[in-house]
Structure 1
Amino acid sequence: MTTTYAALLRGINVGGARKVPMAALRTLLEGLGYGDVRTHLQSGQAVFSRGHGDEEDIAGEVARAIERHFGFGVDVIVRDHAYLEAVAGACPFPAAGLEARQLHVTYFSAPVAPDRFAGIDGAAHLPEEFRLGDRALYLYAPDGLGRSRLADQLSRPRVTEGLIATTRNWNTVLKLVEMTRGATEAAG
């Protein structure tokens, strides 16, 4: 039985640094024995199928292969279709009524305790808001991520220390659900 996964690479192809061409990434993943490999955008999303395995082990395998091939380390989070779909379905904000630039999901490598956010005064950042989910954080930023003061607070070391955290806009969240669904149905 195969499982369909998405690999979320953190901090590649930003401002011309840490370049990972998507064609080379697809070839690299195929070389690891992954099937149905596809990528989305240049910002580091790959979808693939393989026999069911531990997401952390797969992420480590992908990260090591990228470092060997490209010569620099990249943080990688791997999640299966069921998880991605559950995160999209659990959105606490009215996603259908918002622009994709207003809604983001930060995926974490492990569960995050709410006390990490204790020092953030939510009322001081309104109308921006955030909510915790399952190894995910939902951020509503009406003026977009680039202008969000709350996003800056949420990315501070006291929140992210010891974790991999990578953020995607709502369009990408939904696209990854769609891409992994399609591959899951084809593999099933």
Structure 2
Amino acid sequence: MARYAALLRGVNVGTTRLAMTDLRRLVEDLGHENVKTYLQSGNVVFTSPPTKDEILAEGIARKLTDELGLRVPVLVRGGGELAAIADASPYAGKQDDQTRVLVAFLSAKPTAARVKDLAVPPGENIEYEVIGREIHLHFPDGGYGRTKFTNAYLEKKLGVVATTRNWKSVLALRDLTAA
């Protein structure tokens, strides 16, 4: 058995409302065990036989659509992946404020050409590094709330689905999926 975290994009931050009790129930109905949610923003951790991330994500997304009529992008990372992501952060030690260090999780590794063309919007002070299927972000002058370097911007520029979590959430999900 392996531990996974499913990250739902755009839940309970805009118009898409989802009770975490419903999310836990849906994930349990899929046969996953030890299901726990983290915060109200669409993070669910569960145990399942080792399976490809994409298959787990598709199952959860399909269940959300079939039972609740929600079309929500879902990304999944295993516990080992989350530990590696946390270890790879080039910015974790630069900042005490965990809202200024974030990780954008991507549905797939973007092409080298798209990564090369990715740029910070004019007038913004952001550091970023693309590592595999993640973008490590550092906002030295403020948090994520006022940037144009959003999930939608990343999706347009990189051609993949993105969902972003602050450093506190990344560490919590890493800990909740630890073996």
Aligned Cα RMSD in Å? 2.1
* Contact 2:152/2:162 (8 A) holds in 1: no
User: Which residue is 1:9 aligned to?
Assistant: 8
In the TM superposition, what is the alpha-carbon distance from 1:69 to its structure 2 partner?
1.4
Where 1:52 maps in the other structure, the secondary structure is coil
Question: Please, what TM-score do these two structures have when normalized by structure 2?
Answer: 0.90
The aligned runs of 1:139-154 (5 Å cut-off) are 139-142=137-140, 143-149=142-148, 151-152=149-150
Label 1:30 to 1:152 Cα distance change in 2 as closer, same or farther (>3 A): closer
Label 1:154 to 1:89 Cα distance change in 2 as closer, same or farther (>3 A): farther
Q: Letter of the aligned partner of 2:59 in structure 1? A: E
The aligned runs of 1:1-188 (5 Å cut-off) are 2-15=1-14, 17-95=15-93, 97-121=95-119, 127-142=125-140, 143-149=142-148, 151-152=149-150, 155-161=153-159, 163-181=160-178, 184=179
What is the distance in 2 between the residues matched to 1:157 and 1:14?
18
Which protein has the larger Cα radius of gyration, Structure 1 or Structure 2?
1
Label 1:29 to 1:157 Cα distance change in 2 as closer, same or farther (>3 A): closer
What is the distance in 1 between the residues matched to 2:152 and 2:85?
19
What is the distance in 2 between the residues matched to 1:147 and 1:56?
31
* Contact 1:116/1:158 (8 A) holds in 2: no
Structure 2 portions without partners, runs of 5+ = none
- Residue correspondences, number: 178
Structure 1 portions without partners, runs of 5+ = none
- Over the matched positions of the two proteins, sequence identity in percent amounts to 34
Label 1:50 to 1:121 Cα distance change in 2 as closer, same or farther (>3 A): closer
Deviation per CA, 1:60-91, whole angstroms, max 9, x where unpaired? Answer: 00000011111121100011000011001000
Question: Please, what TM-score do these two structures have when normalized by structure 1?
Answer: 0.86
Where 1:168 maps in the other structure, the secondary structure is strand
* Contact 2:104/2:151 (8 A) holds in 1: no
Deviation per CA, 1:102-158, whole angstroms, max 9, x where unpaired? Answer: 111000111112421434455965642111112000111121111234x14982554
What is the distance in 2 between the residues matched to 1:116 and 1:48?
33
* Contact 1:129/1:140 (8 A) holds in 2: yes
